[in-house]
Structure 1
Amino acid sequence: MRTIRTMLTGRTILTSLLCAGLVAPAGAQQAPEPRRSVSSYGVPGLIDMPSAQMQPDGEIVTSIYGLSNGSGRTQLSFQILPRVQGVFRYATIPDFLRVGDEFIRTYDRSFDVRFQVLKENGWIPDVTVGLQDFGGTSLFSGEYVVASKTFGPQWTATAGIGWGRFGSAGSFTNPLVALDERFRDRPRYDVNTSGGQFSTSSWFRGDAALFAGVEFRPNDRWTLKAEYSSDGYREEEARGIFDRKSPLNFGVEYNLAPGIRLGGYAVGGSEFGFNIQLALNPKRPPTGGSGLEGAALPVALRPSRDAQPQLWSEAWVGAAQVEEPVVAGLDAVLAEAGLELISYRLTGDRVDIRFRNPRYASEAQAIGRAARAMAATLPPSVETFVLTPENERSLGSASVILRRSDLEAIENRPNGAAEMLAVAGIVDSASLPTDGRRYVEDAYPRLNWNIGPYIGYSLFDPDNPFRVDVGLAASAEWEPVRGLVLGGEVRQKLIGNRDESVRESNSVLPRVRTNGPEFLKTDDPFIPYLTASYFFRPGQNLYARGTVGLLEREFGGVSGEVLWKPVNSRLAIGVEANIVRQREFDGLFGFQDLEAETAFISAYYDHGARFYSQLDVGQYLAGDRGATYTLTREFSNGWQVGAYATRTNVSAEEFGEGSFDKGFFLRIPTDWLLGRPTRQTSGLTIQPVQRDGGARLTIRDRLYPLVRSQSAPDLTERWGRFWR
């Protein structure tokens, strides 16, 4: 046993911006952007005003901005594409919301999107169109068209026109009225709105105003900023929490270290502000890459058949005194490379192996190392290598067929990876013969266990920006036979504040998620999950999973899934059904009365360039029906950044705050941080509001994420690491 550790509207304008941002001249996107400082709203800009510049592709910036009156904003921005940027914002404003005779602090969540329609080239400036708070409560909503031009390495000038928040000081009649009279008026901010809807009826409407500013960089450490602001802080002034005495703002920023910038500002002639900016980029690992993985074996060359014909004999197959040492040697060399031999099938000129890859994030790299291990240990008569990586649930997807002579000939060529891919065969592992396959002695049963700390978090909820629990967790998984996995975890909280939420559910739907805070109020040990799962392949292109037990923290029951995924196709179709019951709040073995049935048909598509989309259509936990769309961008080193949105037959009023379910997530490969190979990842999901509409089960080991990395499109994308 192995033990392991025609009339212009907001919608037509948005469509035009998408076309401008996505369909751009290729040459204009080739020059890399420098890292930009950000405004108080988290986008490249001056102080309160935006600029037209963009961050480097893939850049992620967290900015924490505060004013001396107690207001603050925390923003997370992501450069989705070279010309498209998105922002999530969580703001806190003191004495803003009236409750009875008192004014209390309010927390607000909002999203922005920006499209760069022109790229600076000669005398042509950068030009960007932005939608701020386009789908939140509209407290910060505003739109703008802005141009920025650099003058040498030290100066950048910015000027633009804004609406909404950016048209609230020094304003004039909207020039778009000349195109359509509907642009004349803009709906007022409503403090009672539930938010979450796309406020297209407000976009580019109402009075407009001009803004401008300049940025001076005397050296690579210091930046000076000055701007004429068109942000009138009307809602804040109306409540007496901001006194705008001047449209001029001034600031100074210091670049403390790569990716860390500090700023101080004089705002509105009455307030002082600060900004802490933390930037990172998936393309720039802090360790410079996975350079600690160790060198791969060279391809061992076979002796000449003419000089030593006896070594090319196939008589070794079936001769125990020869065959057993060959297999043992292969197992040992694979283990030295961090791979685990599971099974093998031998003939005189062809060897078929299945192996696990617990070390390398890229399956192509694991296949390359396994192929060199085979070349180092197998007799010269073996010309064909068949390599099938299996995931942690004993599912194999693609089998790669290589000729040994190609390995020997191509290894040291300048374009060796591409040449090797051109001569490799990729087939469905279920199509291969199984007669004569033998499993290594310690392949099963398998035991994995772990004891260590855990961190549970709640980010940017409606009452508190940050709640966290810290404790100890013990988990184990046992695979007694191939494909059958018994697993569970026990946790004990040591310290935390996630149990301090006092918000009571006002949901009119079955409370499948809004009573979630009740599950956090136990100080005793609890069981996040305890399941028995079986994974298997019913046939070619098919994968299946059945799971029973305590499926997640809040629900237990039965879950089943079937996935159709041809190994060479970018498309996959899945079907999932679940029958569950809500667990007791103490997180042990009891159940409450609430029962639910969910079922989904899912379509997955690999768009190429490491963009992936997923559409789930079906019935959710509260009995509502609808669809969830998820878009994920994955970088070559395994970083993932994605967002999702769900709409069901539950109305915005029935759903409650937020109007519909949405969120975004990050998946960070540990090898990006440590510089040494590992398949471990860390995840972060931000869901601004968790309600009962559009709620799904959190099922472990859904099939598509398990098999995607082993399919031909993904192997091809990452084949450049074959010789690493």
Structure 2
Amino acid sequence: MSEWAVHRATRRGAITVLLVLCGTTAGAQSVPGTNSYGLPGLIDMPNARAMPDGTISLTYGRIGETARNTLTFQITPRLTGAFRYSGIGDFNHPDSVDGVYFDRSFDLRFLLWGEGRIRPAVAIGLQDFIGTGIYAGEYIVATKTITPEITVTGGLGWGRLGSYNTLSTISTRPSFNPDNDEGGNLGYDQWFRGEVAPFAGISWRPTEKLSFSLEYSSDDYQQEIDRGGFEHNSPINIGATYRVNDDLQVSAAYVYGSTFGLTATYTLNPKTIGVPGGLETGGLPVSPREPENLRDLGWANDLESAEASVRQRLVTNLEREDLRVEGFSLRPRSATLRMSNPTYPATAQALGRAARVMTRVLPASVEEFVIIPTGNGVPMSAVTMRRSDLEALENDAAVEMLARTSITDAYGKAPADDTGIYPRFIWSLTPYYDYSTFDPESPLRLDLGGKLEGTLELASNLSVTGSIKKRVIGNVGDIERVDPSELPRVRTDFPSYAREGDPSIDRLTLDYFGRPGTNLYSRLSVGYLEQMYAGASAEVLWKPVDSRLAIGAELNFVRRREFDGLLGVTDNVTTDPVTGIERAFPDFNGHVSAYYDIGNGFHGQLDVGRYLAGDNGATLTVHREFVNGWRVGAFATMTDVSSEEFGEGSFDKGIMITLPLTVGLGTPTKTTTTTMLRPVLRDGGARLNVSNRLYDEIREWHEPSVSASWGRFWR
């Protein structure tokens, strides 16, 4: 069971995680107790509770020699998802390492309906529905509050949860052999089939912090018994839970008449953390005009001189707001500001501060303000508002200002970049870390070192960017387990890059961004695109400013880099270190992509095309984005590579969590860190890692996203 994946984070990632975990709460809404699988439940069995919408929980559950580490997310008020990484000790399996078998699994559960005055809450769930199947089971469960202190639960389980004292058999359930199963297959042909068994439990909460549970389990733990020393002497489990605070709860239990269990769960909720910021200096207030000055156009007799004077005052005042003027044009009744926002994650906050500064420095006759925000030097949208509305609505709800604001395409409307600062060189020396997860010989590996980064800005939309990193300490390069691959090793050779590339050039590219037409955006990157590949990447995106839909296309030409991570490149041919077989992969790959803002914070992306190894298929990504910048999402890639050719995991899939640094600091910053949990990294469905893809940078300045952050317009 060879598995490893190396994910990268920004230099602030570790700080962000620490600040978030230490400083956030799950909110006022009560978080139900969790079972050893990290889902709402009693001790080892599920119940029909749901966590508050948006809750993220981390659970460590241990029963005997088995440890379960679970990340759970309340995707919607009714839908719950979980990813679990388990270490089953004393387990006789061909892939066990020092007697421990490591297993990954995914769960989904859906609350069919909530609890009523007489009606119980009812939920239906799929456990380990896409993993190796060791924990595979399905259930339907009901929970009812009898008194404020007493809650009862009862349900029926199939698969793993239907293995003890079965009632009957519903059709035939396909057999499962964990020794031969590669995992990752969607086992829909097993769901709610085979033997079915009941489970039940009762919970008593004498105080707000303490509760006791008694349950009858329908899991016979036969696999652990057959392959190790687990003893199942009784289906009765008894336990106690202590809620330390709103975020942390711990449980202890005596289970199956033979062993002890321990569970600890930490929860947080991006919905209740609040919108980041608040410690920053307050923005300038609107400066109202005197009525007698509204018709004064005497200043316009020397428009060029007035424009230069106003521009300088804008530069000075907007610098205090941590905003940058890139261009400016002035007319007797209107003014257009081209600006960049390096600071505020809430785009409306940047717009609001810029507009208020404009009321203080522009002549009184100027009524129309047009603010054109840019990204990578490219105009993103044209936000038009009336000065009189700013004056009249400053102390009213921001929604009124939004109703009177127009957001249109900026193509052909932006003043020329007249900053005169190019070429400009920016550099930094920062710490970095890389990490590797899910290698069974060492589930977590870590590298620490320094990274030297630099950007030579030749123009606002043209730059050369590079980074060099040097490891100081770590063991990511010590990965030794190598499985044969039936595909070109476009990703599974990563340990060689980690081991031999020290120091290494992470990236060295020439990047050009443009606006080829109305609703169109483009990117061209040439050079050392990522740690493993050099070449060229071209992208074009169609995205109307008022549309939830965007469509893009990307074409890449790549050459494989040498393992030392320096300037050498080689042919696109890999050699399997186990079999010695050479396999070539194509020079060109690329995708056509569709993006859609589903609403309520949900976004979807579908990429269809050719991947690095030459396989063809599609990737579906769905994520939920919170107003404060948190994101939680998942992706799955299916290509024309069979599960046998793909190898362990059967197809590529993973979970992504994005944390905004500003949550921990309390001051605005656009810096985020994204962590990807990929259960196993293989060569099928592998995509080029290109920086600065267009969609996310563009959509933040378009109508749906700007409207979502408009509550901070007056901040």
Alignment of 1:260-339 (within 5 A): 260-285=248-273, 289-305=276-292, 308=293, 311-315=296-300, 317-318=302-303, 320=305, 322-339=306-323
1:532 alignment partner, one of 505, 510, 517:
510
Cα distance in 2, alignment partners of residues 87 and 102 from structure 1:
25
Cα distance in 2, alignment partners of residues 704 and 390 from structure 1:
14
In structure 2, what residue type is equivalent to 1:669?
P
Alignment of 1:86-101 (within 5 A): 86-99=81-94
Q: Please, which moves more after superposition, 105-114 or 209-218?
A: 209-218
Partner in structure 2 of residue 20 of structure 1: none
Alignment of 1:359-378 (within 5 A): 359-378=343-362
Partner in structure 2 of residue 654 of structure 1: 645
- Which secondary structure state, in structure 2, belongs to the residue aligned with residue 549 of structure 1? strand
In structure 2, what residue type is equivalent to 1:258?
D
CA contact (8 A) 2:93 2:227 kept: no
CA contact (8 A) 2:94 2:179 kept: no
2:129 alignment partner, one of 122, 129, 134:
134
1:546 alignment partner, one of 507, 516, 524:
524
Instruction: Indicate yes or no: 2:94 matched with 1:66.
Output: no
Summarize deviations over 1:349-381 as a string: whole Å, max 9, x none. 111011111111111111111000100111101
CA contact (8 A) 1:107 1:463 kept: no
Report the CA distance shift for 1:536/1:288 in structure 2 as closer, same or farther (over 3 A): closer
1:440 alignment partner, one of 419, 430, 446:
419
Report the CA distance shift for 1:637/1:98 in structure 2 as closer, same or farther (over 3 A): closer
> Unmatched 5+ residue regions in structure 1?
6-30, 178-182
Deviation (angstroms), 1:299: 0.9
Partner in structure 2 of residue 400 of structure 1: 383
Deviation (angstroms), 1:288: 7.8
- Which secondary structure state, in structure 1, belongs to the residue aligned with residue 591 of structure 2? strand
Partner in structure 1 of residue 499 of structure 2: 521
1:582 alignment partner, one of 551, 557, 560:
560
- Which secondary structure state, in structure 2, belongs to the residue aligned with residue 710 of structure 1? coil
Summarize deviations over 1:582-602 as a string: whole Å, max 9, x none. 111111111232263202111
Report the CA distance shift for 1:719/1:243 in structure 2 as closer, same or farther (over 3 A): same
Deviation (angstroms), 1:253: 2.1
1:352 alignment partner, one of 330, 336, 339:
336
Deviation (angstroms), 1:462: 5.0
CA contact (8 A) 2:295 2:365 kept: no
Cα distance in 2, alignment partners of residues 36 and 667 from structure 1:
25
1:710 alignment partner, one of 701, 706, 714:
701
> Unmatched 5+ residue regions in structure 2?
1-11, 13-26, 573-584
Instruction: Indicate yes or no: 2:77 matched with 1:44.
Output: no
Deviation (angstroms), 1:556: 0.9
Instruction: Indicate yes or no: 2:479 matched with 1:501.
Output: yes
CA contact (8 A) 2:446 2:476 kept: yes
- Which secondary structure state, in structure 2, belongs to the residue aligned with residue 284 of structure 1? helix
Report the CA distance shift for 1:683/1:535 in structure 2 as closer, same or farther (over 3 A): same
Q: Please, which moves more after superposition, 624-633 or 99-108?
A: 99-108
- Which secondary structure state, in structure 2, belongs to the residue aligned with residue 52 of structure 1? coil
Instruction: Indicate yes or no: 2:398 matched with 1:417.
Output: yes
Deviation (angstroms), 1:474: 1.5
CA contact (8 A) 1:603 1:614 kept: yes
Partner in structure 1 of residue 176 of structure 2: 188
- Which secondary structure state, in structure 2, belongs to the residue aligned with residue 454 of structure 1? strand
Q: Select the structure with the greater relative contact order (CA < 8 A; seq sep ≥ 6).
A: 2
Deviation (angstroms), 1:64: 1.1
Report the CA distance shift for 1:714/1:99 in structure 2 as closer, same or farther (over 3 A): closer
Cα distance in 2, alignment partners of residues 155 and 696 from structure 1:
52
- Which secondary structure state, in structure 1, belongs to the residue aligned with residue 697 of structure 2? helix
CA contact (8 A) 2:505 2:531 kept: yes
Deviation (angstroms), 1:446: 3.8
- Which secondary structure state, in structure 2, belongs to the residue aligned with residue 91 of structure 1? strand
Deviation (angstroms), 1:403: 0.7
Partner in structure 2 of residue 245 of structure 1: 233
Report the CA distance shift for 1:261/1:571 in structure 2 as closer, same or farther (over 3 A): same
Instruction: Indicate yes or no: 2:201 matched with 1:201.
Output: no
Deviation (angstroms), 1:311: 4.7
Cα distance in 2, alignment partners of residues 473 and 102 from structure 1:
34
Cα distance in 1, alignment partners of residues 96 and 668 from structure 2:
59
Cα distance in 1, alignment partners of residues 291 and 341 from structure 2:
33
1:115 alignment partner, one of 110, 118, 126:
110
Summarize deviations over 1:648-693 as a string: whole Å, max 9, x none. 1101111110100111101111112221111110110011111111
Cα distance in 1, alignment partners of residues 503 and 149 from structure 2:
58
CA contact (8 A) 1:345 1:438 kept: no
Report the CA distance shift for 1:506/1:317 in structure 2 as closer, same or farther (over 3 A): farther
Partner in structure 2 of residue 19 of structure 1: none
In structure 1, what residue type is equivalent to 2:145?
T
In structure 1, what residue type is equivalent to 2:467?
E
Q: Please, which moves more after superposition, 257-266 or 555-564?
A: 257-266
- Which secondary structure state, in structure 2, belongs to the residue aligned with residue 238 of structure 1? helix
- Which secondary structure state, in structure 1, belongs to the residue aligned with residue 119 of structure 2? coil
Cα distance in 1, alignment partners of residues 317 and 363 from structure 2:
15
CA contact (8 A) 1:384 1:402 kept: yes
In structure 2, what residue type is equivalent to 1:202?
Q
Report the CA distance shift for 1:98/1:681 in structure 2 as closer, same or farther (over 3 A): closer
- Which secondary structure state, in structure 1, belongs to the residue aligned with residue 594 of structure 2? strand
TM-score (norm 1): 0.90
Deviation (angstroms), 1:217: 2.2
Partner in structure 1 of residue 120 of structure 2: 125
Partner in structure 1 of residue 366 of structure 2: 382
Cα distance in 2, alignment partners of residues 423 and 550 from structure 1:
46
Q: Alignment identity in percent?
A: 44
2:161 alignment partner, one of 160, 166, 169:
166
Deviation (angstroms), 1:722: 1.4
Cα distance in 2, alignment partners of residues 219 and 627 from structure 1:
52
Cα distance in 2, alignment partners of residues 478 and 390 from structure 1:
18
- Which secondary structure state, in structure 1, belongs to the residue aligned with residue 91 of structure 2? strand
Cα distance in 2, alignment partners of residues 217 and 277 from structure 1:
18
Q: Please, which moves more after superposition, 651-660 or 422-431?
A: 422-431
Partner in structure 2 of residue 634 of structure 1: 625
CA contact (8 A) 1:316 1:323 kept: no
Cα distance in 1, alignment partners of residues 97 and 114 from structure 2:
49
Summarize deviations over 1:184-238 as a string: whole Å, max 9, x none. 4442343210111110111111111111112222223222222111111010011
Cα distance in 1, alignment partners of residues 125 and 452 from structure 2:
47
Report the CA distance shift for 1:718/1:355 in structure 2 as closer, same or farther (over 3 A): same
TM-score (norm 2): 0.91
Deviation (angstroms), 1:81: 0.4
Summarize deviations over 1:43-100 as a string: whole Å, max 9, x none. 000110001000011111111122343x211110100000000010111112324449
Instruction: Indicate yes or no: 2:551 matched with 1:568.
Output: no
Cα distance in 2, alignment partners of residues 432 and 497 from structure 1:
53
CA contact (8 A) 2:84 2:106 kept: yes
Cα distance in 2, alignment partners of residues 312 and 289 from structure 1:
42
Q: Please, which moves more after superposition, 58-67 or 615-624?
A: 58-67
- Which secondary structure state, in structure 2, belongs to the residue aligned with residue 302 of structure 1? coil
CA contact (8 A) 2:93 2:101 kept: no
Cα distance in 2, alignment partners of residues 462 and 68 from structure 1:
20
Deviation (angstroms), 1:466: 1.6
Report the CA distance shift for 1:713/1:94 in structure 2 as closer, same or farther (over 3 A): same
Cα distance in 2, alignment partners of residues 299 and 346 from structure 1:
19
Summarize deviations over 1:600-619 as a string: whole Å, max 9, x none. 11111111222111111111
Q: Please, which moves more after superposition, 46-55 or 294-303?
A: 294-303
In structure 2, what residue type is equivalent to 1:206?
G
Superposed CA RMSD in Å reads: 2.1
CA contact (8 A) 1:317 1:347 kept: no
Q: Which of structure 1's runs of 4+ aligned residues deviate more than 6 A?
A: 100-103
2:407 alignment partner, one of 393, 406, 426:
426
Cα distance in 2, alignment partners of residues 280 and 206 from structure 1:
38
Summarize deviations over 1:332-365 as a string: whole Å, max 9, x none. 1111111111110111111101111111111111
Aligned length: 677
Instruction: Indicate yes or no: 2:588 matched with 1:604.
Output: no
Instruction: Indicate yes or no: 2:225 matched with 1:225.
Output: no
Cα distance in 1, alignment partners of residues 97 and 414 from structure 2:
76
Cα distance in 1, alignment partners of residues 370 and 256 from structure 2:
69
